[in-house]
Amino acid sequence: MQPPLCWKKASGAVSLSLAARSVVRTISPTAYTPGQPDSISLAVTPDSGVFSWAVEETPPTSWTVASINENGAWDDVNKKVKWGPSSTPTAGR
């Protein structure tokens, strides 16, 4: 199944809406050490005209994913962490 036309594959493993103002990935610690846990966070800022959006992260196949927050879920079929769809609150509503 193809994603909606409003989605595109960004550099790295983040899929984002063309209407996203920004997606920032932070990895801590900054240097990868095999066998040691890392913390990955994504900060998504949708464009002001976006009312609903979703994010997917595809980790390296050798990684174990745990402790997903912000109502995210592991998709074992596609091997992705998925959030959304989420609604963007708008002023005056």
* pLDDT band at residue 12 under the 50/70/90 scheme: very low
- What is the DSSP code (8-state) at residue 89? P
* pLDDT band at residue 19 under the 50/70/90 scheme: low
- pTM (predicted TM-score): 0.68
**Which tokens is 45 given?**
């800022």
**Which tokens is 66 given?**
């745990």
Average pLDDT of the chain to the nearest whole number: 77
Q: How far apart are CA 82 and CA 59, in angstroms?
A: 11
- Quote the pLDDT of residue 88: 67
Q: With beta carbons less than 8 A apart as the criterion, state whether 44 and 20 touch.
A: yes
Q: Closest by alpha carbon to 86, among 57, 26, 45? A: 45
Backbone angles phi, psi at 29, to 5 degrees: -70, 165
**Which tokens is 53 given?**
């959006």
Please state whether beta strands 20-28 and 52-57 pair in parallel, antiparallel, or not at all (unpaired). Answer: unpaired
- Quote the pLDDT of residue 9: 47
Q: Where do the domains of the chain lie?
A: 7-87
